[in-house]
Amino acid sequence: MSGFSVTEPSKRQKWFAGLLVITYAVVTLLPLLWIIATGFKSPADSISYPPKVLFEPTLEGYVNLFSTRTRITPSMRETLVEPTTWYEQIARDSGTVIAGPSRYGQRFLNSVIIGFGSTFLSIFFGTLAAYAFSRFKVPIKEDLLFFILSTRMMPPIAVAIPIFLMFRQLGLNDTQLGMILLYTAVNLSLSVWLLKGFIDEIPLEYEEAALIDGYTRFQAFYKVVLPQAATGIASTAIFCLIFAWNEYAFAVLLTSGTAQTAPPFIPTIIGIGGQDWPAVAAGATIFLIPVMIFTILLRKHLLSGITFGAVRK
């Protein structure tokens, strides 16, 4: 970097810019920090009036998140045995006994299964389609690609009406399979567009060399193109996963007891008498942290991912 460059900002400019950006970042982080902090508050502290910044941390929110509890009634008191684990002790201190596990674990698992399942399928089909679009003359290619993109413009609720009826007919309502297929279809547009961009950048010569060496098309695709596109595929996969992970509208309408994912579930976590904010915050924290980690891993590909590959670095 040359010190004489006219485009290099001065020290003072840099300092000032840094100050403003850091201020914004801190403000923008506040709500997230508040979520994490609330997860470690007691229910009384969480709704204290006015709000508490300093508090005595407790795992009650996490215990409440993962358990269902019954209030101890006078008649129960006599038959109670001493709690044997730390989480039973926490429940006991708040005047309840643990009756069993909550649904959170199951909902979280659903999110994992549906998220990974749909990601795998949309990457699988998306890679094939992207390769074909990138390398072959496909009739009405542009129309097909635009059609694929346009499916993302529909408001999810509008799509949900016929999907609801279709699923009902096929018995796919509230099944993991139904949600996996749905999210696969929704994610296909993203994966085709992104992956096509990545495959376009792989030089054609490699494949040609392989074909001359006697590889079939399939072999060339599998042994030459796929390894080259691996990074692109992985970052596309993470974007698909994040979408399926965060999706709410379809999940709230099409899932219920068995296949419900975490996003429609978390806002409905309630404790004994009223919304249990520490438990909601605990559930949100556990749910949001994987995405935060992915975001950090993804930062180089973030831009192409969120713009369907329309802008890339």
Partner 1 sequence: MSIKKPVEHIAKATPPSIARRVRGLSDRAIAWLFVGPSIVLLLAVNIFPLIWTINLSFTNFKANRLRDAEYIGLRNYERILTDADTWQSMQATAHFLFWTIFFQVLIGFALAYLINKKFKGNDLWTTIIVLPMMLSPAVVGNFWTFLYQPQIGLFNYVVQFFTGVEASSFSMIGSVTLAPWAIVIVDTWMWTPFVMLICLAGLRSIPDSIYEAAECDRASKWRQFWTLTVPMVLPFLMLAVLFRGIENFKMFDLVVQLTGGGPGSTTLLTSIDLKREAFEKWRTGYASAYAVILFVTVFGLASIYVKALNKVKER
Partner 2 sequence: MKASKFLKLTALTAILAAGAPAASAASLTLCWAAWDPANALVELSKDFEQQSGEDMAFEFVPWPNFADRMLNELNSGGKLCDLLIGDSQWIGGAAENGNYVKLNDFFEAEGITMDDFIPATVTGYAEWPKNTPNYWALPAYADVVGWTYRKDWFSRPELQAEFKKTYGYDLGVPESLAQLKDIATFFQGRDIDGTTVYGAAIYTERGSEGITMGVTNALYNYGFEYQNPDKPYDIEGFVNSSGAIEGLEYYKALYDAGAPPGSSNWYMSEDIDAYKSGQVALQMNFAFIWPGVNADENVGGDRTGYFANPPGPAGHFAQLGGQGISVVANTDNMDGALAYIKWFAQPEVQARWTEMGGASAMRSVVEAPGFADIQPYNQAFLDSMAIVKDFWAEPAYASLLLPMQDRVHKYVIAGQGTAKEALDGLVKDWTEVFEDEGLIK
Q: Nearest distance from residue 43's CB to partner 2, in Å?
A: 9
Of residues 66 and 250, the one with the C-beta less far from partner 1 = 250
Token pair listed for 133: 């679009």
Please pick, from the candidates 17, 22, 230, 289, the single residue that binds partner 2 as defined by CB under 8 A.
Answer: 230
Handedness of CA 60, 108, 105, 292 (dihedral sign): negative
Of residues 98 and 148, the one with the C-beta less far from partner 1 = 148
Cα–Cα distance for residue pair 133/195, rounded to 1 Å = 10
Q: What contacts 68, CB < 8 A, 6 or more positions away?
A: 98, 99, 100, 101, 102
Residue 29 Cα distances to 24, 26, 35, 69, angstroms: 9, 5, 10, 33
Nearest to 118 by CA among 12, 251, 272: 251
Q: Nearest distance from residue 131's CB to partner 1, in Å?
A: 6
* Residues 187-226 within binding reach of partner 1 (CB under 8 A): 188-189, 192, 196-197, 200, 204, 207-208, 211, 214, 216-218
Q: What contacts 85, CB < 8 A, 6 or more positions away?
A: none
**Residue 296: what residue type?**
I
Nearest to 219 by CA among 210, 230, 229: 210
Q: Is 173 in the site for partner 1 (CB under 8 A)?
A: no
Burial of 97 per CB tally in 10 Å (0-12, 13-18, 19+): middle
Q: Nearest distance from residue 112's CB to partner 2, in Å?
A: 7
Nearest to 127 by CA among 230, 2, 279, 209: 230
Please pick, from the candidates 132, 206, 228, 272, the single residue that binds partner 1 as defined by CB under 8 A.
Answer: 132
* Residues 124-163 within binding reach of partner 2 (CB under 8 A): none
Residue 285 Cα distances to 59, 241, 243, 292, angstroms: 13, 18, 17, 10
Q: Is 288 in the site for partner 1 (CB under 8 A)?
A: yes
Please pick, from the candidates 234, 289, 292, 310, the single residue that binds partner 2 as defined by CB under 8 A.
Answer: 234
Q: Is 48 in the site for partner 2 (CB under 8 A)?
A: yes
Q: Is 233 in the site for partner 2 (CB under 8 A)?
A: yes
Q: DSSP for 5-16?
A: -TTSPPHHHHHH
Q: Is 104 in the site for partner 1 (CB under 8 A)?
A: no
Q: Nearest distance from residue 197's CB to partner 2, in Å?
A: 16
Q: Is 101 in the site for partner 1 (CB under 8 A)?
A: no
Q: Is 70 in the site for partner 2 (CB under 8 A)?
A: yes
Nearest to 294 by CA among 243, 259, 257, 252: 243
Of residues 17 and 297, the one with the C-beta less far from partner 2 = 297
| Size of site (CB under 8 A) for partner 2 | 53
With contacts defined by CB under 8 A, name the span among 13-21, 78-86, 93-101, 186-194 that binds partner 2: 93-101
Per DSSP (E only), the strands in 17-167 are 67-71, 96-101
Q: Nearest distance from residue 95's CB to partner 1, in Å?
A: 22
Provide the binding-site residues for partner 2, judged by CB under 8 A: 44, 47-49, 68-71, 73, 75, 95, 99-100, 112-114, 116-117, 119-121, 123, 164, 167-168, 173-177, 180, 227, 230-231, 233-234, 237-238, 241, 253-254, 256-259, 268-270, 272-275, 297
